Amino acid sequence: MAEPLLYYVRHGETEWNVQGRLQGHHDSALTARGRAQADRCGEILRDLFSRDGRDAGDCDYVASPLGRARSTMERVRATLGLIPNDYRVDDRLKELAFGRWEGLAYPALRASEKALLAAREHDKWGFTPPGGESYADLLVRVRAWHKTVERDSVVVAHGGTARALVALYGIAPRARAAVTDVAQGVVYGFSPAGMARYG
């Protein structure tokens, strides 16, 4: 049986994204732009399904339990003509945890955590923020989730979880996966053939 295809969406822009604050397991509401990005992802998926002769209802739908991912998923599903809240959530799709850094902006971190930030830049994959988790830790839970995927799925989660998938699929070495740009308002396709970007 062929490995399922993942249609992956990063949540739309949030208030904290605009402010440059680390979110991690904390949450922030979608901006007007973020809501438009979520709607756009629904349109992209609708076009992909039409192109491939697929019914949107044939996929599984799963999101991170964090509010920004759920809000995005519900807008995506509404755009596809599906019941907005009829999807699953999985804790293993939560964003990378930044521990005591969550809610802080980079200028504040540069002022108070200069040495730790330097260590993170040296080894972004292996670095663990105080009270948080590393990308290596994140990969463990994303891999555990991925083993449960049984059919083509629309997944709404975070930049960090997408980077873990980049490493899991062997699309880039781990050091490069940790700095891979994951845009909002686009759809990524993950498969054994690699990663595609739509939109």
- Residues with catalytic annotation? 11, 95
Smallest Cα–Cα separation from 183: which of 39, 8, 48?
Answer: 8
What sign for the dihedral angle of Cα 66, 36, 191, 96? negative
Q: Which residue has the tokens 């739908």?
A: 61
List, in sequence order, every beta strand (DSSP E) within 77-165: 88-89, 153-157
d(CA 137, CA 160): 11
